[in-house]
Amino acid sequence: MISTAILEQLKKEETPLYYYDLPLLRATISAAKAAADQWGFHIHYAVKANNNPRILQEISTLGLGADCVSGLEIETAIAHGFQAKSIVFAGVGKTEKEIRVALSQGILAFNVESLEELQVIDAIAREMETHASVALRINPNIDANTHHYITTGLDENKFGIMMHELEDCLTLIHSNESALALVGLHFHVGSQITDWTVFKRLCLKVNEWNTWFIERGIVVPILNVGGGVGINYKNPDGEAIVDFANFFALFHRFLEPKPGQQVHFELGRSLVANCGSLISRVLYIKKGVNKNFAILDAGMTELLRPALYQAYHQIQRLEQGELPVEATEKYEVVGPICESSDCFGKNVELPVLVRGELVAIRSAGAYGEVMSSRYNLRQPLQFYFEE
């Protein structure tokens, strides 16, 4: 919630801008960490959700590890306080350069997604006369009941090691000249998961796989169950912080790590989504034939999720204008970009808007700033941090 005092500040700022509520970020990270600590679980922050330097610093200070998907994410995470030994490196397409970066930094583990990738990591590690700690990403074939663009754990997705390659992976890891150390199993079923029975099914699948490895004499030190906890985009103030206590309790209840096995998570959205809002000015109100358009100075270039996934973000008018708030109007809230998909919401009921007023597009802290672009040669993003 943006206070009146902050609103007065924001009115003086150039828009569009990303507003970050750092006290809420700290409260969220602390709640997640405390809930995980209760069971001895480890959290890696999925840097892809938001790599703003201020956000990274806050999160690293509170003692989380990092989950990175590129060499530059690894270097950026380390530059902003994350320990190399707490970094996992995921992604189906790691380049040789990125593998070298990860090896020279001494990260915790590569989350490996294919046999060929494993062979390349092994060859580079041997050439660098070091060893590579790897976790094998297993595709649990679980439907995450989420948008198909962000479902990752099904057989038809590109993620994870194909079952028919698994034995060859183990043979390579255990060969005499191998520079590989198997440190974990990695799973991730998708993002924005609000049906928590998905996580229960994931736990049961992880248990099965853990048993499969144990039967082959392999007890991996780390079970990494990924991320994906959804947030309530409809209620950013009422449910600002996910119920982490129950989330981790579910894993404590259903996951069966063997003595000495650690449980790791890779959380992105649930840690940063609600601390961010995209603040935008109403440029014009256009009365259409059947509807009214509210044209904002922010568009899909600043927040792509609605255009790309038809994602819902709550839109709020921030100012108390001349008219009473009871006077409402339905708007199609759109941006200035030359694309019809540049729309934040259709049929959005809002207090009557006038040119120059500020609106907030809520829950934009995850996959917002990071997915922005300079299409149409847009102005660089502006920021406001509430300390």
306/216 Cα distance (integer angstroms) = 46
Q: Judged by CB, which is closer to ligand LLP: 282, or 363? A: 363
Q: Binding to ligand LLP (CB under 6 A): which residues in 143-182? A: 150, 152
Does 226 participate in binding ligand LLP (rule CB under 6 A)?
A: yes
381 burial type by CB count under 10 A (0-12 exposed, 13-18 middle, 19+ buried): middle
Q: Binding to ligand LLP (CB under 6 A): which residues in 9-48? A: 46
The DSSP-derived string for 95-158 is -HHHHHHHHHHT-SEEEE--HHHHHHHHHHHHHTT--EEEEEEB-------S-GGGB--STTSS
Binding-site size for ligand LLP (CB under 6 A) equals 20
Contact predicate 198/142, CB 8 Å: yes
Q: Which stretch binds ligand LLP (CB under 6 A): 125-133, 225-233, 284-292, 323-331?
A: 225-233
Binding mask 307-346 for ligand LLP (x = CB under 6 A): ----------------------------------------
Does 268 participate in binding ligand LLP (rule CB under 6 A)?
A: yes
Q: Judged by CB, which is closer to ligand LLP: 10, or 24? A: 24
The CB-nearest residue to ligand LLP is 268
Kindly tell me which residue out of 28, 114, 151, 191 binds ligand LLP, with binding defined by CB under 6 A.
191
Q: Which residue among the candidates 203, 275, 338, 343 is catalytic per the annotation? A: 338
Pairing of strands 42-46, 17-21: unpaired
Q: What's the min distance (Å) between Cβ of 63 and ligand LLP?
A: 18
Q: What's the min distance (Å) between Cβ of 162 and ligand LLP?
A: 17
Q: Judged by CB, which is closer to ligand LLP: 121, or 350? A: 121
Q: Binding to ligand LLP (CB under 6 A): which residues in 59-78? A: 67
Helix (H, G, I), strand (E, B) or coil at 211: helix
Helix residue ranges, H only, the chain: 4-11, 22-37, 53-61, 71-79, 96-105, 115-127, 163-174, 197-215, 244-254, 269-272, 305-309
300 burial type by CB count under 10 A (0-12 exposed, 13-18 middle, 19+ buried): buried
Does 113 participate in binding ligand LLP (rule CB under 6 A)?
A: no
Does 269 participate in binding ligand LLP (rule CB under 6 A)?
A: yes
Is 338 marked active-site? yes
Does 372 participate in binding ligand LLP (rule CB under 6 A)?
A: no
Task: Find the largest Cα–Cα distance for the chain.
Answer: 77
What 8-state DSSP symbol labels residue 358? E
64/87 Cα distance (integer angstroms) = 10
The catalytic residues are 338
Residues that bind ligand LLP (CB under 6 A): 46, 49, 67, 90, 150, 152, 188, 191-192, 226-229, 266-270, 305, 367
